[in-house]
């Protein structure tokens, strides 16, 4: 079976926050940031599977600090686990104030993309081999995050979520 390293999908995007990107408070609109994050995730997914792919879900989108007009947005995306036809992509976002020369964390999220064949049907993706400690940690947590997504979407019964149950129950309970 074909495998790829997480680093092979690593993608960096930068955008300048202009007036049209902001709300009445001078902050980058969340929807605009999500749009940019979706693009970065799509590029990372494409690098991993060498095929067209589409967004299947977005979860754990946590906004920590707003990004102001005139600041630069730095988006990093990397596939953290591949399943049969889907990939989980971890996104991290920072803002950079060029005038005052400091960088600050803005948010992070997990996107799921599904690879598509020429007929628009899901296709198999290469498996992922994590290398660094951070990549291994994200890889190991991806199955639990996937089970939560499937339960919330009604595609998995909670009783079938063995990875999640293992967190709360010991053998024999």
Residue 165 lies in a domain: no
Mean pLDDT over all residues of the chain? Answer: 93
Name the pLDDT band for 173 (thresholds 50, 70, 90): low
For residue 57, the cross-strand partners are: 112
Number of folded domains in the chain? Answer: 1
Model pLDDT for residues 124-138, shown as the tens digit of each residue:
999 999 999 999 999
pLDDT (average), residues 32-36: 97
User: What number of other Cβ atoms are within 10 A of residue 120's Cβ?
Assistant: 9
Do the domain assignments include residue 49? yes
> Does residue 167 register a pLDDT over 60?
yes
Q: Is residue 171 part of a domain?
A: no
The domain that holds 33 is classified in CATH as 3.10.129.10
User: What are the C-alpha distances in Å from 20 to residues 3, 23, 29, 51, 133?
Assistant: 42, 8, 9, 33, 40
Interval 118-124 mean pLDDT: 96
- Find the range with the poorest average confidence among 35-44, 137-146, 157-166: 157-166
Asked if pLDDT for residue 15 goes beyond 60, the answer is yes
**Two tokens, residue 147:** 């089970």
Under the phi-then-psi rule, with left for phi > 0, alpha for psi from -120 to 50, and beta for the rest, what region is 154?
A: left
Its domain, for residue 28, covers: 3-129
pLDDT class of 170 with cuts at 50, 70, 90: low
Q: Confirm whether 139 is domain-assigned.
A: no
Question: Who has greater pLDDT, 169 or 80?
Answer: 80
List 130's β-bridge partners, or say none.
none
β-bridge mates for residue 91, sequence order = 77, 109
The four Cα atoms 35, 38, 39, 45 give a dihedral, to 10 degrees, of 180
Residue 145 lies in a domain: no
Residues facing 104 on adjacent strands: 95
């Amino acid at each position: 079976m074909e495998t790829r390293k997480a680093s092979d999908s690593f993608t960096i995007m930068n955008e300048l926050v202009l007036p049209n990107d902001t709300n009445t408070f001078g902050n980058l609109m969340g929807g605009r940031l999500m749009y940019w994050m979706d693009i970065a995730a799509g590029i990372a997914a494409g690098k991993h599977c060498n095929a067209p792919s589409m967004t299947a879900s977005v979860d754990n989108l946590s906004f920590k600090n707003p990004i102001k007009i005139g600041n630069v947005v730095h988006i990093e995306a990397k596939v953290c686990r591949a399943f049969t036809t889907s990939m989980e992509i971890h996104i991290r976002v920072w803002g950079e104030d060029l005038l005052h020369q400091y960088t600050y964390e803005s948010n992070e999220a997990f996107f799921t993309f599904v690879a598509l064949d020429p007929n628009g049907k899901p296709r198999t993706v290469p498996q992922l081999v994590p290398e660094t400690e951070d990549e291994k940690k994200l890889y190991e947590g991806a199955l639990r995050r996937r089970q939560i997504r499937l339960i919330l979407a009604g595609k998995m019964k909670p009783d079938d979520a063995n990875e999640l149950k293992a967190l709360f129950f010991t053998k024999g309970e």
